[in-house]
Structure 1
Amino acid sequence: MHHHQGKFHSVLSSVSWRLADGYIQCRLSRPVKLTNQKRALYDLDKDYFLFLANGHAQYGKVWKHSQQPLISSHRKHITGPPEILRGSRAPIIMKMHGVLMLLAWMLTGSVGTFIASFYKPDWPNQTVFGQKIWFQVHRGLMILTVTLTGVAFCLPYFYRKGWSKHAGVHPYLGCCVLTLSLTQPVMAAIRPSSDSHSRYIFNWGHWGVGSVTEIIAVAAMFLGMRQSSLLLPQPWATHVLIGYVTWLTLFRFLLLMHRHIYIKKSALGPDDKQAILSDPSEHGCWGSFIKSLILAALALGNSGLLMALLSSIAEI
């Protein structure tokens, strides 16, 4: 208070303060309009957004708030009648950034990757627009993922009007994710034909870049939910994301086991193999049905965890 009193002593009166519930409360009076206008003081007969910030005070020094202030949803006429105001600690543009990034990396990206990793042998004879179903679904989901990432990436720039200086490693990870995401469709567009002897280079490269991108994206999500401009409830949000990573790992393990068992069965003698192939009811349909169920469960679980985080973004 001393600092403010020294600066504005000519216009402030009836200054008092008290300590209540661990908070310092100040009371002061000042004229609504100021004749001797100073740049730092505003007339109080206009409409303003109200900010509510709280932070630590120690040994007479007031520290910067650790959290984004609570900002009223609309301007309020200061000298008007009292009104219950709604507010948010996160600007709508940053909420959109979080929503789009979580959608891309918790749903479309992970499901699209799983389809390419484990669902190529399924629906082998059906095609959509001349391409295999798994490929069309994979390509569609991944293009959607890259588009969502690109749009979401631009939003903090618009909000900050430049680079986010106080966001730590998070924006750097975001740059890596966007750059690697954009190399994937380029790599896919110039891939050699499936029977080419250099095709394995594309296969390993595409898989490797995709895996690294997904790992960096998950790291970026862990750091992003701790940003002051979109601070999700902690430690709850972190636990939800840990749950998501565990869920994904479980399904990867399940499908790898399924593949291992299926290959073992296919590796039996030619007569047995012929019997398996000629009797689809035994393994083919069952295997396909179980795999469809696994994919549905994966997508449902991902959606549930995503919705939990989106609902917390809505409430900030």
Structure 2
Amino acid sequence: MITFLLLSLITLASANFDASECGKAKHCLSVPTDCHLKNNGKNCEYMLSHTVSPDDENSAIIELYGVREDSAYVAAGFSDDDRMGNEPVTACVASPNGSPELSFSFNKGTNNVPIIGVSPNDGEILESKIVDGSIYCKIRQSIAPEDDALPDLKKPYQVLLARGPRQQDGRLQYHGSAIATPKLSTFNLPAPQPLVAPSQDVVDSSELEANATTTQAPTLIPTGSGPFNLTTPQRYTLLRFHALMMLIGWFGLIAVGIAAARYLRHEIVNKKVNGLFAWFQVHRAANVLGVFCILIGSLLAFISKDFEWTGPTASGDFESNTNAGAVHTLVGAISVIIALMQPLGSLLRCAPDSSKRPIFNWGHRILGLFGIILALVAVYIGVAKFKGLWNDTDWPLVVLILFTVLSVVLIAALEAYVILRDRRRNRVNINGMELSGRGKFNQDGYEVSYNPTGTNVSAKDKIVNLIGFSAITAASIAMVVLLGVFLF
């Protein structure tokens, strides 16, 4: 029994990715870039190493490591460019019973097709360790495989690292383009080089390590693809600016504009700027600038995707139409359409004294609220699922949750105060957000001819709403700034 436990401990101890050997006995790739150089790779999302087998010059030793989270596999795609599609894949997979399995497959577009009947001569697992937090496999793979569907490891490849769930039929489930975090590097297997020249008798160990690193390090190849010849780093930069512009547009500007219309129209009722009430100027300016930022952000996203639609399609299967990337695209597109409809709809609204004006007002409010909720959902998907875009994988989600909770609490408290105030004054009206008696000014901020009934606002009311507006504005801007910092 003791012998069995000791052997188990020895096996577990050996079945780990040893980043200290990178640049010495093996080539290493990691995500975030070069994270394996610090703390033995403890902060890495992915690590991959490769070297020629010391026992068989016709085989490669490949190590795959990935943070598990909800994933059932960690995989490496051997691609001719920097985008997923039409490449062989080697994966370390956790089977339903938790044991490791070696999987070979081929990506036909976004569909993963298993390669059945691979000979043990072409690949086998040497060591593995699958726990709740990570997946690790050490694999022997043939350099020149018998199966033509497998990668010829004598060729250079751009490695695409990914993780995700596994389907019941054994296929690797589509993981979404932003979850696959590619590192733009060549994958080749040069012949082992001596670390010390034959004529040398004594070599300092630091020189030996430096020599090993410089002679064996993989070469970066900035190969682009698509109509704009964009490399993966360039695409990620565009997506980061897309995210930033969307955050600024929706939450740095439009959220402030909505808060101004709701909480400032009573509080700065007599203040005008260029003939229009100040609250309306803030509301209009924030929304117009917000829509402009949203359009720029949308354009950046389309450029990064080569102007290809990445949302659900009629020809797509359930898996590809419901992955995080497709849902994010669809939700984001609907929110952008709503953002465009709002200012255009305002130009077509009826007169302030029309009997149909309340219908427009309620439609305007409900549509605006629906749009900003969809935008928030899109941000949540981006933060939770597209972790390759962020320089921290945990804090962006914490910031977003704190912002959501704080905003809900602030708005609920302000609305409760308004309801209680109106009940005390017996001035509840059926139009909710409409001014009592249909107000002193219309939706544009211009004065109207009919008289209001009871628009007196106490100093206490002004202070409460001004503090509420300021708090909502501060929370929105702080969220945008913090997430922007985590993007770059």
Q: How many aligned positions are there?
A: 275
Compute the displacement of 1:226 (Å).
4.0
Compute the displacement of 1:71 (Å).
3.0
Separation in 2 of the partners of 1:226 and 1:175? 19
Match of 1:301 in 2: 475
Matched, 1:164 2:310: yes
Separation in 2 of the partners of 1:62 and 1:199? 55
Match of 1:53 in 2: 161
Match of 2:207 in 1: none
Residues 19 and 105 (structure 1), Cα distance of their counterparts in 2 relative to 1, 3 Å cut = same
Residues 222 and 54 (structure 1), Cα distance of their counterparts in 2 relative to 1, 3 Å cut = closer
Compute the displacement of 1:147 (Å).
1.4
Q: Which moved more, 1:61-70 or 1:156-165?
A: 61-70
Matched, 1:250 2:409: yes
Residue in structure 2 matching 1:241, options 400, 403, 414: 400
Match of 1:8 in 2: none
Q: Deviation digits for residues 139-193 of structure 1, max 9, x if unmatched?
A: 1111122112222122222111111155222211122111111111111112223
Separation in 2 of the partners of 1:65 and 1:177? 25
Match of 1:177 in 2: 335
Aligned AA (2:467): L
Compute the displacement of 1:293 (Å).
2.2
Match of 1:150 in 2: 295
Q: Which structure has greater helix proportion?
A: 1
Whether the 8 Å CA contact 1:180–1:213 is kept in 2: the answer is yes
Structure of greater relative contact order (alpha carbons < 8 Å, 6+ residues apart): 1
Alignment of 1:189-208 (within 5 A): 189-208=347-366
Q: Secondary structure at the match of 1:53?
A: strand
Q: Deviation digits for residues 185-239 of structure 1, max 9, x if unmatched?
A: 1111122232232211211111121112122222222223344485555565444
Q: Deviation digits for residues 245-304 of structure 1, max 9, x if unmatched?
A: 222211211221332344345449xxxxxxx96xx8xx32x4323322222222222222
Separation in 2 of the partners of 1:229 and 1:41? 29
Separation in 1 of the partners of 2:465 and 2:241? 34
Aligned AA (1:288): K
Q: TM-score, normalised by structure 2?
A: 0.47
Matched, 1:209 2:367: yes
Separation in 2 of the partners of 1:205 and 1:64? 40
Separation in 1 of the partners of 2:289 and 2:339? 11
Aligned AA (2:138): I
Match of 1:69 in 2: 181
Q: Which structure has greater strand proportion?
A: 2
Residue in structure 2 matching 1:15, options 56, 59, 62: 59
Separation in 2 of the partners of 1:54 and 1:176? 28
Matched, 1:136 2:281: yes
Match of 1:24 in 2: 138
Whether the 8 Å CA contact 1:177–1:213 is kept in 2: the answer is yes
Whether the 8 Å CA contact 1:105–1:214 is kept in 2: the answer is yes
Separation in 1 of the partners of 2:348 and 2:162? 54
Separation in 2 of the partners of 1:55 and 1:202? 47
Q: Secondary structure at the match of 2:59?
A: strand
Matched, 1:186 2:360: no
Unmatched tracts of structure 1, length 5 or more: 1-11, 31-39, 269-275
Separation in 1 of the partners of 2:286 and 2:422? 28
Match of 1:222 in 2: 380
Matched, 1:104 2:246: no
Unmatched tracts of structure 2, length 5 or more: 1-55, 62-125, 130-135, 145-151, 191-213, 221-231, 312-319, 428-454
